[in-house]
């Protein structure tokens, strides 16, 4: 009897647990734009804190995902919860995509919008994003926003990288605006990584 070899599925599942809707819509839009050889399971943690996000990733990852990421805002670099979450992520080999002060800074950087030094608060980034888009971000608007950033702005990821400080996850807590999101974005744009 002849043995039939089934083709292997080369897609590597990557778990991404996001803090909020904006982040999850952004990465879902990236996934639809860059259909590579990877499969992404993108989950929203509903705006819960850093420890909750990492805890959910640890729980979901068990045996199912060789790679996992958490996407979180720094907001308060001195918060004990953030330090504990970073420590737990390292212990469980979960990568972090952090943005200081919030993911809104990364989104605005796609439009080459950078706030002046004294105005770099979460509220000001949300307001600037509202002004740029003509209305505030809402859950129902999230997917449209993400697709607008990805599609209508010709994948301005390189532009975003020029308008925000790119850091390793450990350095993001020290400077605003800064991010390590570009490391996760590279999994979408450069599937051979």
CATH code for position 94: 3.40.50
Q: Is it the case that residue 159 has pLDDT exceeding 80?
A: no
Angle at 186 between CA 65 and CA 127, to 5 degrees: 105
Is residue 2 in a domain?
Answer: no
What does the pLDDT look like over 6-24, one tens digit per residue? Answer: 344 455 689 999 998 888 8
Is residue 134 in a domain?
Answer: yes
What does the pLDDT look like over 39-65, one tens digit per residue? Answer: 899 999 877 889 999 999 999 988 789
Cα–Cα distances (Å) from 159 to 15, 110, 155, 178, in that order, read 26, 6, 9, 14
Is the peptide bond preceding residue 177 cis, with omega within 30 degrees of 0? yes
Specify whether the CB–CB gap between 130 and 137 falls below 8 A: yes
* DSSP bridge pairs for 73: 99
Give me the domain span that covers residue 104: 12-189
């Amino acid at each position: 009897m002849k043995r039939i070899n089934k083709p292997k599925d080369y897609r590597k599942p990557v778990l991404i647990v996001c803090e909020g809707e904006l982040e999850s819509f952004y990465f879902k839009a990236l996934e639809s734009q860059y259909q590579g050889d990877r499969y992404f399971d993108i989950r929203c943690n509903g705006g819960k804190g850093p420890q909750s996000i990492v805890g959910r990733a640890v729980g979901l990852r068990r045996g199912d995902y060789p790679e996992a990421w958490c996407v979180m805002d720094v907001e308060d670099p001195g918060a004990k919860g953030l330090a504990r979450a970073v420590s737990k992520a390292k212990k469980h080999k979960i990568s972090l995509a952090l943005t200081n002060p919030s993911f809104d800074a990364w989104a605005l950087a796609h439009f080459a919008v950078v706030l002046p030094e004294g105005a770099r608060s979460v509220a000001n980034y949300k307001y600037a994003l509202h002004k740029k888009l003509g209305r505030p971000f809402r859950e129902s608007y999230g997917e449209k926003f993400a697709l607008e950033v990805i599609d209508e702005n010709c994948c301005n990821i390189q532009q975003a990288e020029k308008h925000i400080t790119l850091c390793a996850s450990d350095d993001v807590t020290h400077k605003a605006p800064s991010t390590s999101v570009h490391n996760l974005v590279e999994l979408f744009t450069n599937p051979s990584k």
